[in-house]
């Protein structure tokens, strides 16, 4: 079903932002705030973080005090950020945000009914508060991602994996949630390098990595563990669900086509899956997944084995 979408493009240049700069006014005492009061409040709040998700959440919560919003969707391709807040609805207004010719994302506001002209004008005024904090957060996010990303596959690197796994284990312990891990290896990858060359091997690695990411939820993360091995961290996921996800990944890779390289070329992966035990360490969780992966390869490859 196609819902009506109002689309607008805003190009924020520096002079205009300065002209529409924030005035120093006292915080509003009684809700809801007036537009100038909310502009001032958001101008202060949004400068307190360099995390794009936090900034967008504060912005959404602030605007909800002034306009009847049910949800917000933000996308920024360069930084691989896709955020949904609140509830989606049948009507929306979309804004393409630009600053000095550079795209800083697409923002979609969700409402229970179409936004009127006054509300759209108010949204444009409020977006002025968001531009500089969001721009700084995106620059910080991209710089951080560069340090934590494998340059070939655009998945996380070993440093990112170590940090992410430690964080997920802490969350799992604190909230009593399950946590599972998949370790997978591309079968007979050395043969690809030997017969087709390393350039083709690189293309295969990138294609497999993209396929893995496409099959996963937003909360899951893929990391290049080394060579042709990848690790997938499955947040809040028990053994049964992890096994299903692993099988989905295996089948997705098996169905990949490499027509531009060689129509006859097919790839498979072997997977090992482990689920966090009480008081278990990251090293132990990885080791059990690696042992399960070894079992999968020993039993014929192109299969998943569960850790004991």
Q: Among 87, 228, 260, 280, which one carries the catalytic annotation?
A: 228
Is there a catalytic annotation at residue 87? no
Contact assessment for residue 154 and residue 79, using Cβ atoms and an 8 Å cutoff: no
CB within 8 A of 108, min separation 6: which ones? Answer: 5, 72, 73, 74, 92, 93, 94, 95
80 DSSP 8-state letter: T
Contact assessment for residue 117 and residue 93, using Cβ atoms and an 8 Å cutoff: no
Tokens (6 digits) for 96: 């393409």
198: Cα separation from own chain's centroid: 29
Q: Verify cis geometry, omega within 30 degrees of 0, for the bond prior to 32.
A: yes
Q: Rounded to an integer, what distance in angstroms lies between the CA atom of residue 64 and that of residue 71?
A: 9
Residues designated catalytic = 228
């Amino acid at each position: 079903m196609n819902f009506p979408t109002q689309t607008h493009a805003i190009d924020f240049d520096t002079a205009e932002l300065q002209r529409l700069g924030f005035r120093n006014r006292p915080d509003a005492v009684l809700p809801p705030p007036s537009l100038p009061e909310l502009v001032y409040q958001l101008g202060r709040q949004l400068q307190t973080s360099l995390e794009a998700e936090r900034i967008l959440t504060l912005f959404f919560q602030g605007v909800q005090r002034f306009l009847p919003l049910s949800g917000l969707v933000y996308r920024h391709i360069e930084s691989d950020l896709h955020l949904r807040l609140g509830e989606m609805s049948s009507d929306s207004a979309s804004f393409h945000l630009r600053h000095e010719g550079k795209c800083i994302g697409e923002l979609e506001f969700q409402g229970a009914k179409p936004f009127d002209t006054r509300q759209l004008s108010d949204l444009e005024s409020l977006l002025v508060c968001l531009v500089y904090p969001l721009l700084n957060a995106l620059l910080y996010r991209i710089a951080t991602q560069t340090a934590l990303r494998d340059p070939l596959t655009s998945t996380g690197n070993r440093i990112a994996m170590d940090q992410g796994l430690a964080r997920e284990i802490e969350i799992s312990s604190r909230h009593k949630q399950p946590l599972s891990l998949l370790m997978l290896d591309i079968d007979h990858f050395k043969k690809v390098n030997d017969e087709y060359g390393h350039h083709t091997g690189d293309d295969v690695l990138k294609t497999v990595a993209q396929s893995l990411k496409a099959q996963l939820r937003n909360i899951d993360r893929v990391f290049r563990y080394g060579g042709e091995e990848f690790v997938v961290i499955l947040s809040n996921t028990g053994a049964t669900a992890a096994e299903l996800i692993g099988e989905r990944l295996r089948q997705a890779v098996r169905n990949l086509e490499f027509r531009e390289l060689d129509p006859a070329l097919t790839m498979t992966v072997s997977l090992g899956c482990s689920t966090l035990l009480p008081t278990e360490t990251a090293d132990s969780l990885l080791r059990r997944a690696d042992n399960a992966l070894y079992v999968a390869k020993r039993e014929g490859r192109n299969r998943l084995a569960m850790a004991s």
